[in-house]
Amino acid sequence: MKVLTLEPLTRVEGHGRVDLILQHGELHDVRVSLNEPLRLFEGLLLGRSFAEVPALVCRICSICTAVHRVASARALEQALGVTVPPAAEVVRELLVLGGHLASHALHLFCLVLPDLAGTPDILTLARDGHPLAVAGLELKRLGNRIQEVAGGRIIHPINVEVGGILYRPSPQATAELAGSLARWQETLPGLLDSFLDPGSYPSAAPAVGTRLAVAGDGKLVLGGDFLSLSDGRRIPVSDYRELLGERVVSHSQAKQSGSRQQVWLTGALARHELAGRDSVRLPPGIYGNNGAQARELSLTLARCSSLLEELGRFPGDAPLLVPVKPDGGMGTAAMEAPRGLLIHHYVLDEFGRVAIADIVTPTAVNQVAMELQLLEDLRGVIDEEELRRRAAWIIRAFDPCISCAVHIIKGPGDPVCSGRILKGRSSAD
């Protein structure tokens, strides 16, 4: 037996490692480890006021910061029985979509493009004035600008609190954005071809896993009360724990969802398929995730434009924030992060302090799918250099976000290594 180790994984967010276990020269098994330092977020929220939560949890991850902030606010609003004013919902959606735009642009143009262009990094491409890289950086900047206008800051936005938003973006800023969005809708399609072209990628097995996304009506959906599965089921978000069965595994710092028998796939590809957008041809296998992200870039631009129009129709004194009184309660919010399903769940005590916090991130959900996809795609490959190269491509196609995945974990007396599925965890201690 021989083990090929890829460590550190590069051009992905966070510290990860892949062990390819070979037997008689052939790939026999795979282990994906997410080995970030512990963050213990769910633990450090305990006992804090609900009002502090959004500003803390957005710091789980900088790429997904907007969606963490909004998802936590939504879960807490549900727990406290608060309804957010409609104008605030519009600004929040704009913020989250700005995050999707920046994240997809970062992934495709900064992390994947070097593979297609055969260079080590985006810096080389930017230096040499590679047209796609230059345009991609501009697109990423647009996503950042949307987040800055809607959220006040690109990384760790400040505008979202429990109860709504704190201020309305200035008319000058939204008018400038609307202009940029209109220009981009004309130029964007020309930038996406190489990510959609099956010829850009190695050969691939079909993508593994039951697709999982927030249920919607075929449009670009960011949040909702039901989860949609490719086996035809529709599950209320509040049943997420029974569905996902997260467990502690010995080789990873992240909780794992599912098992080799029940594999989940979440992310742009799952959203694409579950929304019935199959008509567009995507690259094969898991590389379809890159293609689906490219498709979402177009949808996101269009949606941002209509949100800006919608925002303009609210009167200048439209309410943005409702007062929130500390109280007890329980709330669960599911949202689509750029990388897939994100769940925030909180229980508050009678003083509005966090008694239980549970956060499920897309990369933790996809962990098993990454392992199986490597096994499926690399079956029969014997050249070690090719194994390494293609394994890196496959992992990258999932667009993992390892900081998010290891926000971490609790689970009363959970046996480690036994693989027992945790059900009905009801206490933080």
Partner 1 sequence: MPPLRFGYARFASCSGCQLALLNSEDALPQLARRLEPVFFGLINSATDPGGALDLVLVEGSISRPEDLTELLALRRRARVLVAVGACALTGGINALGRTDRFTLCRKVYGEGAEARPTFPPQPLERFVPVDLGLPGCPPETAELVALFGALERGGLPLLPDYPVCMECRQRENLCLLIERRQPCLGPITLAGCEARCPSFGVICEGCRGLVPEANRAEAFRLLLDAGLGEREIRSRMGRFIGEGA
Say whether residue 38 binds partner 1 (CB under 8 A). Answer: yes
Q: How many residues can be counted in the chain?
A: 429
The reply on whether position 414 binds partner 1 by CB under 8 A is yes
Give the one residue of 22, 46, 318, 381 binding partner 1; rule: CB under 8 A.
46
Of residues 4, 10, 117, 216, which one binds partner 1 by CB under 8 A? 10
Residues in 52-111 that interact with partner 1 by CB under 8 A: 52, 55-56, 59-63, 65, 106, 110-111
Q: What is the DSSP letter of 339?
A: T
- Bridge partners of 161? 164
Least Å from the CB of residue 230 to partner 1: 31
Binding to partner 1 in span 357-386, by CB under 8 A: none
Query: Which tokens is 291 given?
Result: 């293609």
Residue 412 is a binding residue for partner 1 (CB under 8 A): yes
Smallest gap from residue 413 Cβ to partner 1 (A): 6
Least distance in angstroms from the C-beta of 328 to partner 1: 18
Neighbours of 350 (CB within 10 A): 10
In this complex, which beta carbon is closest to partner 1, that of residue 258 or of residue 352? 352
Q: Closest approach of Cβ 222 to partner 1, in Å? A: 21
Binding residue (CB under 8 A) for partner 1 from 146, 196, 248, 369: 248
Indicate whether 395 belongs to the interface with partner 1 (CB under 8 A).
Answer: no
Burial classification of residue 279, based on how many CB atoms lie within 10 Å of its CB (0-12 exposed, 13-18 middle, 19 or more buried): exposed
> Per rule CB under 8 A, is residue 44 in the interface with partner 1?
yes
DSSP character at residue 324 = -
Nearest to 286 by CA among 389, 188, 139, 391: 391
Say if residues 424 and 414 touch (Cβ distance below 8 Å): no
Q: Verify binding: residue 167, partner 1, rule CB under 8 A.
A: yes
Written as one string, the DSSP assignment of 213-276 is EE--SSS---EESEEEETTS-EEEGGGHHHHH--B--TT-SS-B-S-SSS-EE-SHHHHHHHTT
Binding flag, residue 40, partner 1 (CB under 8 A)? yes
Residue 137 in contact with partner 1, rule: CB under 8 A? yes
Q: Shortest distance, CB of residue 323 to partner 1, whole angstroms?
A: 13
Residue 120 binds partner 1 (CB under 8 A): yes
CA distance 191 to 129: 15
Cβ proximity to partner 1, 317 vs 429, nearer residue: 429
166 binds partner 1 (CB under 8 A): yes
Cα torsion angle, 21, 27, 32, 35, sign: positive
